[in-house]
């Protein structure tokens, strides 16, 4: 049997935006409404992605960021592909992903990273503080990164975001090895 390619995906963003909820949705398909801000976990997910095929994706679900600036630096230097997650009902979390993106570009060149910008909690439309177009604009500045609004709660676009990130990463690796 051929060896499955392995990809590494890191979720970064403010505490409470739904990184763990998105991760659990990807891994187990369910939404758990509990909130434990300290959870930092690493998963090996055996999956099959359109256009990529069977593969293993290592998912690193990181904990809150402010208190863990040095940890964040470590995640960034070890990461290959990043989901920058904010919550559409939390303007501060949107500002924070822009800061995180700055940090990423300080230690990595744009051609060496794959980024997907994620506006999570899109089910909370009535409490929205960040408009869809703002997410789209921000994503344009982030080295053509992709943008999706997701809901871990309702399952909206969760697998699509995951797939997009792995496809970007796979495409980048392939184009380099040419
Ligand atoms: P993290 O700190 O970024 O890992 O955030 P969590 O995944 O722990 O989620 C924080 C809180 O937001 C929890 O109470 C979740 O149930 C809730 N949450 C996460 N994703 C969504 C979502 O898409 N919609 C709604 N309404 N709540 C969500
Ligand atoms: Mg978490």
Q: Could you read off the pLDDT of 134-148 as tens digits, one per residue?
A: 999 999 988 677 999
158 closest CA partner among 7, 8, 44, 9: 9
Indicate the SS3 state at residue 89.
coil
Say what the pTM is.
0.94
- Separation CA 117–CA 138 (nearest Å): 8
Which residues, in sequence order, are CB contacts of 177 under 8 Å at separation 6+? none
How much is the pLDDT for 100?
92
Q: Write down the mean pLDDT value for the chain.
A: 91
pLDDT at 33: 85
- Tens of pLDDT, residue by residue over 79-103, are 999 999 999 999 999 999 999 999 9
Structure-token pair, residue 28: 């187990």
Q: Is the CB of 19 under 6 A from ligand 1?
A: yes
CA distance 70 to 142: 22
DSSP label at 164?
H
User: 14 — phi, psi (to 5°)?
Assistant: -60, 160
Give the closest ligand to the alpha carbon of residue 63. Answer: 2
| CB of residue 123 inside a 6 A radius of ligand 1 | yes
- What ligand is nearest to the CA atom of residue 122? 1
């Amino acid at each position: 049997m051929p060896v499955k390619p392995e990809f590494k995906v890191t979720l970064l963003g403010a505490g409470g935006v739904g990184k763990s909820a998105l991760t659990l949705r990807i891994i187990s398909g369910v939404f758990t409404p509990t909130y434990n801000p300290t959870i930092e976990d690493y998963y090996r997910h055996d999956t099959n992605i359109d256009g990529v095929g069977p593969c293993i994706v290592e998912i690193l679900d990181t904990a809150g960021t402010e208190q863990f600036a040095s940890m964040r630096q470590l995640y960034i230097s070890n990461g290959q592909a990043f989901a920058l997650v904010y919550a559409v009902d939390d303007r501060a979390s949107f500002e924070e992903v822009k800061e995180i993106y700055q940090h990423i570009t300080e230690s990595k060149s744009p051609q060496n990273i794959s980024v997907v910008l994620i506006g999570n909690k899109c089910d909370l439309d009535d409490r929205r503080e960040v408009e869809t177009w703002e997410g789209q604009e921000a994503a344009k500045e982030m080295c053509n990164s992709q943008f999706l609004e997701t809901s871990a709660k309702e399952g909206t676009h969760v697998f699509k975001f995951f797939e997009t990130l792995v496809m970007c990463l796979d495409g980048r690796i392939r184009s380099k090895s040419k």
